[in-house]
A and B are shown apart, each in its own frame.
Chain A
Amino acid sequence: MSDKNIKLRGIITLVIVATALFFLIPSITQKIPSVWKDYTDKIHLGLDLQGGMHLVLEVETEKAVESAMERISNELKDTLMEKRVRFKHLDREGGAVTTLELPNKETSAQFAKILKNDFPNLDIKSSEITDGKEKVYLKIKDKQIESIEKFALEQSLETIRNRVDEFGVSEPEIIPQGKDRILIQLPGIKDPQRAINLIGKTALLEFKLLDESHSLEDALRGNVPTGDVVAYGYRVESETGRRTKTPYLLKRKTLLTGESLEDARVSISDRFGEAYVSLTFDSQGARDFDRITAANVKKRLAIVLDGVVHSAPVIQERISGGNAQITGSFTTDEAHDLAIVLRAGALPAPVRILEQRTVGPSLGQDSIDKGILSIMVGSILVLLFMVMYYNLSGIVADIALFLNIILILGALAAFKATLTLPGIAGIVLTIGMAVDANVLIFERIREELRLGKSPRAAIAGGFSKALLTIVDANVTTLIAALVLFQFGTGPIKGFAVTLSIGIICSMFTAIFVTRIIYDYFIWDRNIKRVSI
Chain B
Amino acid sequence: MEIIKPGINIDLVGKMKIAFVFSLSAIIISILSLILHGGPNLGIDFAGGTLVQIKFSQETSADRIRDSLKTIDLGNSVIQRFGYQDNNEFLIKTEKSSSAIKGLSNKIEEALNSSYNKGDFEIRRVEVVGPKVGRDLREKGMLAMLYAVIGILIYVTWRFELRYAVGAVIALLHDVLITVGIFSLLGKEFTLPIIAALLTIIGYSLNDTIVVYDRIRENIKGIRKQSLKNIVNSSINQVLSRTVLTSVTTLLVVLALFIFGGAVIHDFAFALLIGILIGTYSSIFIASPTVLVWESISPSKEKRKK
Name A's B-contacting residues (CB within 8 A): 48, 56, 58, 192-193, 196, 352-360, 362-363, 366-367, 370-371, 373-374, 377-379, 381-382, 385-386, 388-390, 421-422, 425, 428-429, 431-433, 435-436, 439-440, 443, 446-447, 450, 465, 468-469, 472-484, 486-489, 491-492, 495-496, 499
Among residues of A, the one whose C-beta sits closest to the C-beta of B109 is A193
Residues on B with C-beta less than 8 A from A370 are 260-262
In the complex, the answer to whether A429 meets B192 with C-beta atoms within 8 Å is no
Residues on B with C-beta less than 8 A from A473 are 206-208, 210-211, 214
Q: How far is the CB of A423 from chain B (nearest CB, A)?
A: 10
Task: Give the residue of A355, A358, A446 whose beta carbon is less than 8 angstroms from that of B129.
Answer: A355
Which of B20-28, B63-71, B119-127, B288-296 faces chain A?
B119-127
Cα A86 to Cα B122 with chains together (Å): 67
In the complex, the answer to whether A363 meets B53 with C-beta atoms within 8 Å is yes
Q: Is the interface of B mostly helix, strand, loop or mixed?
A: helix
Most central of B122, B248, B269 by chain A CB within 10 Å: B248
Among residues of A, the one whose C-beta sits closest to the C-beta of B193 is A422
In the complex, the answer to whether A491 meets B199 with C-beta atoms within 8 Å is no
Q: How far is the CB of B179 from chain A (nearest CB, A)?
A: 14
Residues on A with C-beta less than 8 A from B249 are 382, 385-386, 432-433, 435-436, 439
Residues on A with C-beta less than 8 A from B248 are 385
Q: What 0/1 pattern do residues 1 to 35 of B give for CB contact below 8 A with A? A: 10100110000000000000000000000000000
23 contacts between A and B (CB under 8 A): A48-B264, A193-B105, A352-B99, A354-B130, A354-B133, A356-B126, A363-B264, A367-B265, A374-B257, A381-B253, A382-B249, A385-B252, A432-B246, A432-B249, A432-B250, A446-B6, A469-B214, A473-B210, A476-B152, A476-B155, A476-B210, A484-B199, A491-B193
Which residues 188-213 of B sit at the A interface, judged by CB distance below 8 A? 192-193, 195-196, 199-200, 202-204, 206-208, 210-211
Q: How far is the CB of A430 from chain B (nearest CB, A)?
A: 9
Q: How far is the CB of A61 from chain B (nearest CB, A)?
A: 15
Cα A360 to Cα B52 with chains together (Å): 11
In the complex, the answer to whether B200 meets A491 with C-beta atoms within 8 Å is no
In the complex, the answer to whether B98 meets A353 with C-beta atoms within 8 Å is yes
Residues on A with C-beta less than 8 A from B126 are 192, 356-358
Q: How far is the CB of A357 from chain B (nearest CB, A)?
A: 5
In the complex, the answer to whether B103 meets A193 with C-beta atoms within 8 Å is yes
Most central of B103, B193, B208, B268 by chain A CB within 10 Å: B193
Task: Give the residue of A433, A482, A492 whose beta carbon is less than 8 angstroms from that of B193.
Answer: A492
In the complex, the answer to whether A479 meets B132 with C-beta atoms within 8 Å is no
In the complex, the answer to whether B199 meets A358 with C-beta atoms within 8 Å is no
Q: A379-B253, A382-B253, A385-B248 are in contact. List 16 more A-B contacts (CB 8 A).
A: A193-B103, A356-B98, A357-B125, A358-B105, A363-B53, A363-B55, A367-B262, A429-B253, A432-B253, A433-B207, A447-B238, A472-B159, A472-B214, A473-B211, A484-B200, A487-B141
Residues on B with C-beta less than 8 A from A468 are 214
In the complex, the answer to whether A479 meets B105 with C-beta atoms within 8 Å is no
Beyond A359-B124, A484-B196, is A389–B148 a contact (Cβ under 8 Å)?
A: no
Task: Give the residue of A425, A480, A487, A488 whose beta carbon is less than 8 angstroms from that of B257.
Answer: A425
Residues on B with C-beta less than 8 A from A482 are 151
Q: Is B143 interfacial (CB 8 A cutoff)? A: yes
In the complex, the answer to whether B148 meets A479 with C-beta atoms within 8 Å is yes
Residues on B with C-beta less than 8 A from A440 are 211, 242
Residues on A with C-beta less than 8 A from B245 are 389, 439, 443
Q: Is B274 interfacial (CB 8 A cutoff)? A: no
Residues on A with C-beta less than 8 A from B127 are 356-358
Residues on A with C-beta less than 8 A from B265 are 367, 421-422, 425
Q: How far is the CB of B261 from chain A (nearest CB, A)?
A: 5
Among residues of B, the one whose C-beta sits closest to the C-beta of A391 is B1
Beyond A476-B206, A483-B144, is A443–B1 a contact (Cβ under 8 Å)?
A: no
Q: Is B77 interfacial (CB 8 A cutoff)? A: no
In the complex, the answer to whether A192 meets B156 with C-beta atoms within 8 Å is no
Residues on B with C-beta less than 8 A from A474 are 207
Q: Is B106 interfacial (CB 8 A cutoff)? A: yes
Residues on B with C-beta less than 8 A from A483 are 144, 147-148, 151, 199
Q: Is B272 interfacial (CB 8 A cutoff)? A: yes
Task: Give the residue of B129, B214, B246, B262 whose beta carbon is less than 8 angstroms from that of A433.
Answer: B246
Which residues 235-275 of B sit at the A interface, judged by CB distance below 8 A? 238-239, 241-242, 245-246, 248-254, 256-257, 259-262, 264-265, 268-269, 272
Cα A474 to Cα B204 with chains together (Å): 9
Beyond A356-B128, A432-B249, is A389–B264 a contact (Cβ under 8 Å)?
A: no
Among residues of B, the one whose C-beta sits closest to the C-beta of A495 is B196
Cα A352 to Cα B105 with chains together (Å): 18
In the complex, the answer to whether B256 meets A492 with C-beta atoms within 8 Å is no
Residues on B with C-beta less than 8 A from A450 are 6-7
Q: Is B140 interfacial (CB 8 A cutoff)? A: yes
Among residues of B, the one whose C-beta sits closest to the C-beta of A470 is B211
Which residues 207-224 of B sit at the A interface, judged by CB distance below 8 A? 207-208, 210-211, 214-215, 218
Residues on B with C-beta less than 8 A from A480 are 148, 151-152, 199-200, 202-203, 206
Q: How far is the CB of B129 from chain A (nearest CB, A)?
A: 5
Beyond A354-B133, A487-B140, is A479–B253 a contact (Cβ under 8 Å)?
A: no
In the complex, the answer to whether A477 meets B125 with C-beta atoms within 8 Å is no
In the complex, the answer to whether B124 meets A363 with C-beta atoms within 8 Å is yes
Among residues of A, the one whose C-beta sits closest to the C-beta of B144 is A487
